[in-house]
Amino acid sequence: MLLIKKILIIFFLLFSILGITKNIELETEKMRMLAAELRCVVCQNQSLLESDSQIAKDLKEIILDMYLSGKSESEIKLFLVNRYGEFILFKPTFSVENSILWLAPFLSFLIISLLALRKFRVFRKEK
């Protein structure tokens, strides 16, 4: 009877360790996916995942710790944006403050198109 209890305890501990390891692997994969979407605050246009800087390593550890403590992706992004600003996001959110970022390509295209149409009309009148 004592031997069966010992075997059950060993199996219980073994399966719980395997479950914890699987959870850490899952959270690490989620951390890697999020780190690929975030910009390193030191490096020039590198993601946290690509960067080898010390701050990138620290931020990846913070993200992993937050995932392991049960935080969601949006909560982690909000924490990092509050700490480092929207610069850390490769895809900033649409807001009044950065609306020019989102609208500039469309406005540029519109202005260039209008100038091109005007230029072509001038050439037609001369002929």
Q: What is the pLDDT along the chain (127 residues), one digit of tens a residue?
A: 777 766 767 666 656 555 555 567 777 788 888 888 888 888 878 888 888 888 888 998 899 888 888 888 889 999 998 998 888 887 777 777 777 777 888 999 999 998 888 887 766 666 5
**For residues 22 and 87, what is the distance between their CA atoms, to the nearest angstrom?**
33
pTM above 0.75, yes or no: no
- Domain limits of the chain? 2-92, 94-127
Using DSSP's 3-state secondary structure scheme, residue 6 falls into helix
**For residues 75 and 56, what is the distance between their CA atoms, to the nearest angstrom?**
19
Q: Which fold has domain 2-92?
A: Helicase, Ruva Protein; domain 3 (1.10.8)
